[in-house]
Structure 1
Amino acid sequence: MATVTLKGNEIHTLGNLPTNGAKAPDFTLTKNDLSSTSLSDYKGKKVVLNIFPSIDTGTCAQSVRQFNQEAAELDNTTILCISKDLPFAQARFCGAEGIDKVETLSDFRDGNFGKAYNVEFTDGPLKSLLSRSVVVLNENGDVVYSEQVAETVDEPNYKAALEALMDA
């Protein structure tokens, strides 16, 4: 179990993120068109997993905007923005915001992503949602950077994630 806070109050997740050098766990998530995708679909690309509770909160929305802006500059890189929001809400947000450089994916069907990456909240008001985290993978699917944001209302360290991506 990992401990983070939400507005200063302790809440917990299933465990710790995959460590640097580990092979990233595979997953199956739902795209906005309700089709499925898995990590193996991105083989040969660098991948940023931008994980968050809900696209309908300010900090989560900002992380999607920020990574969308950064993605325009990246070669051979895919940024996956992952939450348990329904694909309809993700598509609505991206359409309204003009977000087109990242891919939003949902863990709403079975929650296996949250379990595989240990980011599912186990208690508190966000129980069952995903903890704000960033995991960066190299072209081989190895973890080269991970951050579980200590205070859920704070944004991730974009600079550190992007630097790890450049070094991958």
Structure 2
Amino acid sequence: MANVTFKGTPMTLIGDEVKVGDAAPDFKVLDNDLNEVRLSDYSGQVRLISVVPSVDTGVCAEQTQRFNDAAEKLSNVKVLTVSMDLPFAQKRWIQANDIQHIDIFSDHKDADFAQQYGVLMEELRLLARSVFVIDSEGKVTYTEYVSEGTNHPDYEKALAAVKETK
């Protein structure tokens, strides 16, 4: 399992760690209108999944904005952000921050994504910051479990992985 801390405190991650070469686990999350969405709804496309504890915090907001900006220049790639924020809060945040090129989903109801991808921080019931790239056939081609939850992911590596993935 990935070793993750949050503000220096070790976290227990619940779920199975996803590795490069694995078949991407399907999951269900809620969109901002409380509709259930699955990873399989985006099959046939390259997907980058950006995982943040809460879009209402500085590093998470910047991560989400950076991937939104990058998504505008990517073709045949769907960028998804997942957090434990309530869908209503996500919707307000999207509107306030002019997010137009990515989809943001809530895992608050069942923590299904969190458990499928091994990112549920048991002590906080928040998602561990991470990034996953999945090819159009459903194979994981890139993973990053950020070791300290208040740090940024490696944007350049994640975006390079997207560009190399078909």
Q: Please say whether Structure 1 and Structure 2 have the same fold, judged by a TM-score greater than 0.5.
A: yes
Q: Distance in 2 between matches of 1:81 and 1:63?
A: 9
Match for residue 149 of structure 1 among 127, 139, 146: 146
Q: Distance in 1 between matches of 2:68 and 2:126?
A: 22
- Structure 1 vs Structure 2: percent identity of aligned residues? 40
Q: Distance in 2 between matches of 1:53 and 1:67?
A: 15
With normalisation by structure 1, the TM-score equals 0.94
Q: Give 1:145's aligned amino acid.
A: Y
- State the match for 1:11 in structure 2: 11
Q: Give the CA RMSD over aligned residues.
A: 1.1
Contact 1:47 1:138 in 2 (8 A): yes
Compute the displacement of 1:34 (Å): 1.2
Compute the displacement of 1:116 (Å): 0.7
Gaps of at least 5 residues in structure 1 are none
Q: Distance in 2 between matches of 1:29 and 1:80?
A: 11
Compute the displacement of 1:47 (Å): 0.4
Instruction: String of CA shifts for 1:92-144, please: whole Å, max 9, x gaps.
Output: 11100111101000111111111111100022xxx211100000001011100
Gaps of at least 5 residues in structure 2 are none
With normalisation by structure 2, the TM-score equals 0.95
The number of equivalent residue pairs is: 165
Contact 1:47 1:139 in 2 (8 A): yes
Q: Distance in 1 between matches of 2:104 and 2:147?
A: 23
Contact 1:24 1:137 in 2 (8 A): yes
Secondary structure class of the residue paired with 2:143: strand
Q: Distance in 1 between matches of 2:9 and 2:40?
A: 37
- State the match for 1:48 in structure 2: 48
Counterpart check, 1:158 vs 2:151: no
Q: Distance in 2 between matches of 1:17 and 1:136?
A: 14
- State the match for 1:132 in structure 2: 129
Contact 2:3 2:10 in 1 (8 A): yes
Alignment of structure 1 residues 82-97 onto 2, 5 Å? 82-97=82-97
